[in-house]
Amino acid sequence: MCARPREDFIHCTQKILTSPTANERRPLHRIMITMDTTTDGEAIRNGPLSIMRLISTNARERLYVHPVLWTSRHLALLGWEFVDDGFIDVASLPQQSDPPKEELFDDNWGLFSARRFAADTEPSRKMGSLSGLLKGLGVQDRGFNLDFHFNGKVVATLAYSALFKLDPKLLPRPLPPARIAYIHQLDICRWRKCKLISRKLWVWTDDVSIRRHTTPLVEKRYRSLRPANSREDPYIAAVLVGLAQAQRLDPVDGDAAPENSDKTSPSRITSSPRVQTVLLSHPADKGRLHVFTSRISHELLDRFDFPSRPPPADAQSRQGMTISHRRLALKPIKTLQRRLGLFLRHVASQGTEA
């Protein structure tokens, strides 16, 4: 009876000495996260880090999330930033050959849609008004999945209020149709809460249902995700990347791929990056439309296609992203359709220019 505890103690001691160490018992990815303690300063000295290295270095921040849950920390680590470029002055744009008059003419329907767009506050009605406003500009409403690609896979479907395509006939030279995403800021808030509640973006479409399923913990998490400037939401940057990925992978909208090439491969490169455009309506700015544009390089897209590959140091300047934030005044209403059309034509025809 008295010898039993001693035998148990000896047995337990032998088991501990012959068992693997703590790190050996832990999953491999946990060991990698523990060992990867590179600071931001070391990363700058040693060159740019891969996205997977950034995720593991900042493991406690849980950066690997759906793009609708991105914060300003994601943009800072990737080297992205918003730049306020003020109001849009159509008169200062370079002169271009005018398209057919009927396609930029403020007819009665265009004027009616412009008035509705300026007056409506409900997101769905505002989207319908914008669709009617752009219809006379040769911009077609095209709804399809806007996928976000990571490591050669579709990891998320990006939500948007509306997606349009600008007719290439309106551009001064032959170019693929330019995609234009429209988002209402209230929609971003709803998608973000739905994602926190159910991990899906479109479970509930009304605010009453969302409030019913919002717990104090969800509300606390939601407040921590709200950007300091709601007009420059990090989700806008993710949508711009999604538009660029769609342009590069789409065999119709992208430039012609060489024969015997995989048109769905993430490594497919088109001849030149295009300037991507996102339009944003904000409930606090009823008299203006926010316009975000950015030229996204192939080097930046490659970071998402090959997240474990350290980017080359000589291409570091092309891996960042500068997002131009401009505003278009809605008044005078009579010229809104024409001013918006001229600016969209200017952005779409820039091609490789910023």
269-296 tens-digit pLDDT: 444 677 899 999 999 998 999 999 998 8
Query: Hey, which residues does 148 pair with through a beta bridge?
Result: 156
Residue 22 — very low, low, confident or very high, per pLDDT cuts 50/70/90? very low
Residue 169 — very low, low, confident or very high, per pLDDT cuts 50/70/90? low
Order across the sheet with 288-295: list the strands: 80-87, 321-329, 288-295, 275-281, 178-184, 162-166, 139-141
On whether the CB atoms of residues 304 and 150 are closer than 8 A, the answer is yes
Q: Is residue 264 part of a domain?
A: yes
Residue 278: partners with Cβ closer than 8 Å, 6 or more residues away: 180, 181, 182, 183, 236, 239, 240, 243, 291, 292, 293
Share of the chain above pLDDT 70, in %: 68
What local confidence, expressed as pLDDT, does residue 272 receive?
A: 65
On whether the CB atoms of residues 325 and 232 are closer than 8 A, the answer is yes
Question: Under the phi-then-psi rule, with left for phi > 0, alpha for psi from -120 to 50, and beta for the rest, what region is 260?
Answer: left
Q: DSSP for 315-331? A: GGGGSSEEEEEEEEE--
Backbone angles phi, psi at 146, to 5 degrees: -100, 100
Q: Is residue 165 part of a domain?
A: yes
Task: Please state at what angle helix 336-350 crosses helix 108-119, rounded to 10 degrees.
Answer: 90
Asked if residue 81 has pLDDT above 80, the reply is: yes
- What's the rounded Cα separation, in Å, for the pair 163 and 278? 9
Share of the chain above pLDDT 90, in %: 40
Report in angstroms the alpha-carbon separations of 161 from 186, 229, 286, 309, 347: 10, 20, 17, 34, 21
Peptide bond into 177 cis (omega under 30): no
What local confidence, expressed as pLDDT, does residue 29 receive?
A: 35
Q: Is residue 215 part of a domain?
A: yes
Q: Is residue 290 part of a domain?
A: yes
On whether the CB atoms of residues 312 and 298 are closer than 8 A, the answer is no
Q: Is residue 123 part of a domain?
A: yes
The H-or-E segment that residue 88 falls in is none
Range(s) of the domain holding residue 176: 66-350
On whether the CB atoms of residues 113 and 133 are closer than 8 A, the answer is yes
Structural domain tally of the chain?
1
Highest-confidence segment of 85-99, 152-166, 169-183, 303-317: 152-166
Lowest-confidence region among 34-43, 74-83, 182-191? 34-43
Q: Is residue 12 part of a domain?
A: no
What local confidence, expressed as pLDDT, does residue 325 receive?
A: 97
What local confidence, expressed as pLDDT, does residue 19 receive?
A: 46
Q: Is residue 114 part of a domain?
A: yes
Average pLDDT over residues 114-126: 92
pTM above 0.75, yes or no: yes
- What's the rounded Cα separation, in Å, for the pair 112 and 110? 5
The mean of the pLDDT values for the chain is: 77
What local confidence, expressed as pLDDT, does residue 144 receive?
A: 74
Give the three-state DSSP class for 191. helix
Give the chain's end-to-end CA distance (angstroms, integer).
Answer: 84
Lowest-confidence region among 159-173, 238-252, 254-268? 254-268
Q: Is residue 26 part of a domain?
A: no
Report in angstroms the alpha-carbon separations of 98 from 16, 104, 167, 270: 81, 9, 14, 28
